[in-house]
Amino acid sequence: MTDSILYPHEPSTLLALLESHLPYSLPVYGTLKRLPLSSKDSQAEPAWASFPSSSIPNLFTSTSTSTTSTTSTSITPTSTLEPTSTSTSSSAEPWIIITHLPSPLRNQIRLYSSSEHPSSSSHAQIEKARQQVLTCMLEFVKMSPEADRAGAVNLLWSGHLRDLFGTKDLGVCDTWIKVDVNDQSQGTQETKGTQETQGTQGTQGGIQGESDADMDGLVVDDAREEDCEMIMNTRDIPIPLPYYHSLVRETTVIRTISTGTAISWSMTQHDGVIGSLYTLPDYRRRGLAQIVVEQRIKRDLETGFGVGGYCYIYRGNKGSEGLFGRMGWQRRWGVQWVSLR
């Protein structure tokens, strides 16, 4: 493996670099936006990168050509995270950024390698980045004994990490992103190395819009502490109750006006992903899921912590795939959760 050293960075100093790699850098970009952004804050901690703070790489720039226009446009992060179509090849040295999730999930980490961007498509570039990822992850796990799981790991690296640590992966998900309904011209399939992602261009039919949804007797509201246990009990993945309390301000619900009971909800998790979407069975097929997701994204952007809309859906979950497809989201690249110990 190639030699590699991880260097500490104040999280805010890495945001511009990660922005230039959106949407592929979302797991780390979203996490750092939600961390305290100043090292003077007692809760702040550094992010780690394969380059020193004095040598931050140049921002990524590329051109993408729309399939419906001959005009070249810069890749620019937006509130709807429009995907790029084609990118120019880059010969720059690969780099990696690794960070913990905030408490109470500091045992989980997120990582991003610059070679996950489609511009790094050569076999030699991917192989060099793979060696760097493995070296840096070994170093990070040694210096962070509490880290026992890497989440949202690109399929380029997840199998190699599983083999390195002698553990098992925890299932394959696809990353889905919200795209501008007025810009459906982007490419919908990307293949790079061993990574295969099938893009499915969502349609706007088949689901009620906000103005048409059946909100009779219901109201959109912020979550309350007393909602957390019910939200926890509807999850398939066991996560302790303090996790939900830590995100109560990042959770949007729909309640009955008469009793105040939460009947549909969605939260923004610590890496900026939209998750925990659920509607009680008696209230389904009323268009409530779309409302609660759209309101969650809107409130995120208003607070300054939002990164637009993206989520993870387990492969084979046809119900969720169909729902987000009808909402106009696109399926992009695959990820896995990998145990590190």
- Predicted pLDDT at 313: 97
Q: How many angstroms separate the CA atoms of 19 and 76, rounded?
A: 8
pLDDT at 21 > cutoff 70: yes
Task: Enumerate residues 6+ apart whose C-beta is below 8 A from 78.
Answer: 180, 308
For the segment 161-180, the average pLDDT, to the nearest whole number, is: 89
- Predicted pLDDT at 206: 30
- Predicted pLDDT at 187: 38
Token digits for 239? 């996560």
- Predicted pLDDT at 82: 52
Residue 336 burial (C-beta neighbours within 10 Å; 0-12, 13-18, 19+): buried
For the segment 225-240, the average pLDDT, to the nearest whole number, is: 92
- Superfamily covering domain 218-335: Gcn5-related N-acetyltransferase (GNAT) (3.40.630.30)
- Predicted pLDDT at 103: 83
Q: Worst-scoring range by mean pLDDT, 36-45, 82-91, 176-185, 208-217?
A: 82-91
Local confidence band at 236 (pLDDT 50, 70, 90 cut-offs):
confident
- What are the extents of the domains in the chain? 7-174, 218-335
Local confidence band at 11 (pLDDT 50, 70, 90 cut-offs):
very high
For the segment 198-208, the average pLDDT, to the nearest whole number, is: 31
Token digits for 177? 């992103």
Identify whether the C-beta of residue 139 lies closer than 8 Å to the C-beta of residue 8: no
Tell which wins on pLDDT, 159 or 90. 159
The dihedral sign for the CA sequence 242, 31, 275, 306 = positive
Preceding amide of 23 cis, omega within 30: yes
- Predicted pLDDT at 232: 95
Average pLDDT, the chain: 81
For the segment 251-267, the average pLDDT, to the nearest whole number, is: 97
- DSSP line for 130-154: HHHHHHHHHHHHHH-TT--EEEEEE
Local confidence band at 214 (pLDDT 50, 70, 90 cut-offs):
confident
**Which of 24-38, 73-87, 214-228, 303-317 has the highest average model confidence (pLDDT)?**
214-228
Percent of the chain at pLDDT > 90 equals 63
Round the CA-based radius of gyration of the chain to a whole number and report it. 20
pLDDT at 1 > cutoff 60: no
For the segment 49-67, the average pLDDT, to the nearest whole number, is: 73
- Predicted pLDDT at 233: 94
pLDDT at 95 > cutoff 50: yes
pLDDT at 80 > cutoff 70: no
pLDDT at 148 > cutoff 50: yes
Local confidence band at 43 (pLDDT 50, 70, 90 cut-offs):
low
Identify whether the C-beta of residue 153 lies closer than 8 Å to the C-beta of residue 109: no
Local confidence band at 168 (pLDDT 50, 70, 90 cut-offs):
confident
Tell which wins on pLDDT, 326 or 64. 326
Local confidence band at 161 (pLDDT 50, 70, 90 cut-offs):
very high
pLDDT (tens digit, 9 = 90+) per residue, 284-316? 999 999 999 999 999 999 888 788 899 999 999
